[in-house]
A and B are shown apart, each in its own frame.
Chain A
Amino acid sequence: MIWEVFRQNQAGDYHTHCGNVHAPDREMALLFAEIQHGRRKPTNSLWVVPQDEIGEVDTEDAKFGGTTDKSYRFARTYNVEPAAEEVEASEKELNEAERKRGEA
C-alpha cells in the first residue's frame, strides 16, 4: 500500500507533498515517513495519506480558470502611479500566469 507524504517545514506553513512510502498501515507509514522524509530537511510535521484516498481532477477533465478572458480577476485596472503594493503584486501574478499558460 502506498502512502503519500506531506511535509510541513514549520508551524503555520502548508503541508507540501514530498513523496511517498510503502507501508501496510498508517502507523508504519508514519514510522517510515519520519525517516525517509523528515530526516534531512527541517520538519515540523508530516501527514501520510493513503494514495487511493486522494481525489484528482486534471486538465483532461477540466478547463482550469475557464476558456475566456477573465483578467478582471486580477487588480490590473487600478494601476495609477505609484501602484499600490497589492496591485503591483496582482499584476505580476497575472503576467506570470499568462506567461505560463503560453508556455504550456
Chain B
Amino acid sequence: MAAADDVEFADTDDLDEAEQEAVQDLLFRLADDELVLAERYTEWQVRAPTLESDISMANIAQDELGHARLWYEVLKDFGYDETDLIWERDADDFRHSTLVEQPFEEGDWADAIVRAYLYDVAEDIQLHALENSTFEPIRDRVGKVLGEEDYHLEYATNWLKRLAADDEGRENVQDAVDRLYPYALTLFEPADEEVEATIVERGLRGEDLVELRDTWHDRVSDFLESIGIEVPGLDLPDQYDVHISPDELPEHLGRDGDHTDHWESLFDEMTEAYDELGRDYATHIMDDDE
C-alpha cells in the first residue's frame, strides 16, 4: 500500500473530495486527542505529588495544547475557525480516543503517568509515520511537535521506573495499565475504514493503523514488562491486513464520535465560562502564530 512517489499535496486546493475528508479526519484525530488530554492533565494543577512534578505536568499540558493548536490551524484552511473547532462544536463531533477523556481518581498519580506513557509512545510512533506525509502542512509541523515529545516520554518512563520500584507502586501501575490499556487501543481505531484506506493510499500517513498499533504494542510491552508490569496480549484479527477491532476494545471508541459519559461532563466544564459569558465566538489574547 505504498504511496505513489509522485503524489504531493502542497495545500488544500490540491486535494480532491475524498482526500479532503481523509486529511480532515487525520487532523481531527490528532488535534482532539491533544486538546482533551491537556484538559485532563490540568486537573493535576496543585494536586501532583510535589511542586516540581506539578509544574512539569502543567508544562506538558501546555505543550499538548500547543500541538492541538498546530493541528487546528491546518483545519482552518478547510474553512473552520476556532469557534467552530472547539467552542461551538457538538461534543459528539469530537474524534479523540476515549483514553484521553477518562477521569482521574483523586490522587491516582500512577494513572496519570501510565496514561501519559501509553499516549506519548503512540504519539511518537504516529508522528514518525507522518514525517513523510504527502500533505505538506502536516509534514511541516511534525518536527516541531516531536521536539517537545522527547521530554514527555522521558518524564513518563522515569516516573514509571520509580513507581514500579516497590510493591505498592507496582500494584498501582498494574491497576492503571489494566484499566487504561483497552482505551489506549482506541487510539488506533479508524472512524471509517474507507477514509482510513484513503489516508494510507494517498500517503497522508506512512503506515496504517494496524502497523502503528503493532509497533506501539511491542514497544509498550517491552518496557512495561522490563519493570515488572504485565501487559495484555494483542489478539490479532484473523485477517491480519484488515482492520478489525480486537475483542478487548472498550464499548466506546471515541474516534467515531461515540464517547463515554465522562466526555460530556468534561466538555461542559471546558466550555462553561464561554457559555456563561454568553459568548458566540472565541476571543483571542494572543496574535495568531502565522
Contacts and interface: CB of A to CB of B under 8 A. Distances in A.
Interface in B138-155: 151, 154-155
Interface stretch (B26-34, B46-54, B66-74): B46-54
A22 B55 contact: no
A32 B56 contact: yes
Contact-size category for B: 10 to 19
B155 A31 contact: yes
B45 interface: no
Given A27-B158, A28-B158, A31-B155, A39 B59 contact: yes
Contacts of B50: 22
A22 B158 contact: no
Interface size band for A:
10 to 19
A35 interface: yes
A36 interface: yes
Nearest to B154: A31
Interface string A10-52: 0000000000011110011001101110010000000000000
A24 B163 CA distance: 13
Q: Which has the most chain A C-beta neighbours within 10 Å: B52, B53, B55, B59?
A: B52
Interface of B: 50-53, 55-56, 59, 151, 154-155, 158, 162
Contacts of B56: 31-32, 35-36
A32 B59 contact: no
Contacts of A21: 52
B55 A31 contact: no
A36 B55 contact: yes
Contacts of A24: 162
A35 B51 contact: no
Contacts of B155: 31
Given A22-B51, A28-B162, 7 more contacts: A21-B52, A22-B52, A31-B154, A32-B53, A34-B151, A36-B55, A36-B56
